Amino acid sequence: MDEKKFEIVKDADIIWSLAAAGVQILSEELMSKLPKNKIVIDINLVPPYGIEGIKPKHDNEEIYPRIFGIGALGIGHLKSTTEGSILREATKTKGKKIFDYNIAFEIAKEILFGKKIVISH
């Protein structure tokens, strides 16, 4: 089963775990085989968590070499920080700019990495 999961997630830059409470979908073994430079997000608050190695309070912490995790409680912080940044910028534009998910994604990446980054495939 892990081989099928690996094929699904290996090329993703960001992996979301949205499984039911208490269901682990990505094991430590699978995570350790993944290529580096990934962000994994798990919204599960009930152990075992959806991604082995991640905890709800993780907030962009390196959980495996060059794989950074955001837990269920950490995602709330990222979301509110991103929204706040968008709202501050929106007040400066006086309604002359549209803020879509692409802008939110760019802002979230900058918050996570502390600088502007380009994700290449």
Give the domains, in start order, of the chain with CATH numbers. 2-113 (3.40.50.720)
| Residue recorded with tokens 């968008």 | 86
> Cα(18)–Cα(110) distance, rounded to whole angstroms?
24
Helical axes 72-93 vs 101-113, angle rounded to 10°: 120
Whether the per-residue pLDDT at 121 is higher than 80: the answer is no
Single-letter amino acid code for the residue at 114: G
How does residue 28 score in pLDDT terms, banded at 50, 70 and 90? very high
> Cα(10)–Cα(15) distance, rounded to whole angstroms?
9
Contact 39, 105 (CB under 8 A): no
pTM: 0.68
> Cα(61)–Cα(34) distance, rounded to whole angstroms?
17
pLDDT tens per residue across span 55-109: 999 988 999 999 999 999 988 888 889 999 999 998 998 878 889 989 998 998 8
